[in-house]
Amino acid sequence: MSVLPPVRKDRIIGQLPKCFNRGAALNTDDEFHNKVKTACQQQRTGTVGFKISKVIVVGDLAVGKTCLINRFCKDVFDKNYKATIGVDFEMERFEVLGVPFSLQLWDTAGQERFKCIASTYYRGAQAVIIVFDLTDVASLEHTRQWLEDAMKENDPTSVLLFLVGTKKDLSSPAQYTLIEQDAIKLADQMKAEYWALSALSGENVREFFFRVASLTFEANVLAELEKSGSRRIGEVVQINSNSNNLYATSKKKQTNCCQ
C-alpha cells in the first residue's frame, strides 16, 4: 500500500458544518450525534481503524462534476499519490472528531453515455451527489433519472443524497431564484440535501464537501456502533452496549440529542 500523506490542517472537522438550506437538509442539528462524539472520544485512546466511504458523483454530461471534484481536491494530493490511486476516483482525507476518515470520490466520467457500465461504479456508495447545472433546467429534470439509476445498485435506506446545483456564478439572481425553488422541492421529495455552488469561484465548495464528509462519517460511525461485530470499533460497541448508563451520563450534559 502506498504511503498516505498526512491529513491537511484544513481538512480537520471538529464541529458539524451547517446545512445550506434548512428547507432541504438531511438534518438541521447543530452538533454531531452524542453517540458519535462519545465513540470518537473513546477511539482516540486506542488504535483507530481506517474509515473510508465511497461517494459517487452523477449527473448530465457537462454539468460540472469533474470541475467540482477538481476544485475541492486540487493541491490536496501530490502527483505521486494521484498516480498510485489511479484516475477513476479521488481520495480525500479528513479528520473528523479526531478520527481519520477518507472519502473516495467517484467521478462517473464518460459513463453518461454508457450507463450499463456505470452500475459497477455505483455499487456500495454511502453518499450520492447528484449534480445539475443551475443555468440548465433540463439538467435538473434529469436528476430523477440519475437518482433512480444510482439507487438500483444501492440500499436507499442507508445512502445519503445530495442535490447540487453548479455554475452559480453564471446564473442571474432571477434565474437562480426560479430554479432554486424547483430544486428545493425536488430535494425534499428525494430526501436529499440541497446545495448551490460554483466550481469556478469556489463558492460553497469547501463547505459542501465538509458537510458530505461529516454526515457520511456520522452515518458510518452510527452504523458501526449498531453492529456487534468483532472489528476494532467493536470496543466502542462494548462501551455502548451499556447504553443505559451511557445515556444516563450524557443526558446530564446535553438534552437536545438529534431526532
Ligand X SMILES: Nc1nc2c(ncn2[C@@H]2O[C@H](COP(=O)(O)OP(=O)(O)O)[C@@H](O)[C@H]2O)c(=O)[nH]1
Smallest gap from residue 66 Cβ to ligand X (A) = 3
Half-sphere exposure of 256 (CA within 13 A, CB side): 5
User: Nearest-CB residue to Mg ion?
Assistant: 66
Q: Given the complex with ligand X, which of 61 and 257 has the nearer CB atom?
A: 61
Pairing of strands 99-107, 160-166: unpaired
Does 73 contact Mg ion by CB under 5 A? Answer: no
Smallest gap from residue 169 Cβ to ligand X (A) = 5
**CA-angle at 24, arms to 18 and 25, nearest 5°:** 35
Tell me which stretch binds Mg ion (CB under 5 A): 57-65, 69-77, 125-133, 232-240. Answer: 57-65
Does 66 contact Mg ion by CB under 5 A? Answer: yes
Are 19 and 26 in contact by the 8 Å Cβ rule? The answer is yes
Q: Given the complex with Mg ion, which of 57 and 179 has the nearer CB atom?
A: 57
User: Nearest-CB residue to ligand X?
Assistant: 64
Q: By the criterion CB under 6 A, which residues form the site for ligand X?
A: 61-67, 166-167, 169-170, 198-200
Does 109 contact Mg ion by CB under 5 A? Answer: yes
The span from the CA of 212 to the CA of 13, in Å, is 11
Q: Given the complex with ligand X, which of 153 and 169 has the nearer CB atom?
A: 169
Are 127 and 94 in contact by the 8 Å Cβ rule? The answer is no
Of Mg ion, ligand X, none, which one does residue 67 interact with (CB within 5 to 8 Å by kind)? ligand X
CA 43 vs CA 53, 122, 225, 238: distances in Å: 18, 31, 12, 12
Does 112 contact Mg ion by CB under 5 A? Answer: no
Smallest gap from residue 99 Cβ to Mg ion (A) = 31
Using the structure block, give the residue that is written with the C-alpha cell 445512502.
159
The span from the CA of 239 to the CA of 86, in Å, is 39
Q: Given the complex with ligand X, which of 46 and 202 has the nearer CB atom?
A: 202
Q: Given the complex with Mg ion, which of 27 and 66 has the nearer CB atom?
A: 66
Q: Given the complex with ligand X, which of 112 and 235 has the nearer CB atom?
A: 112
Cα four-point dihedral sign 250, 13, 20, 159: negative
Pairing of strands 99-107, 89-96: antiparallel
Interface residue list for Mg ion (CB under 5 A): 65-66, 109
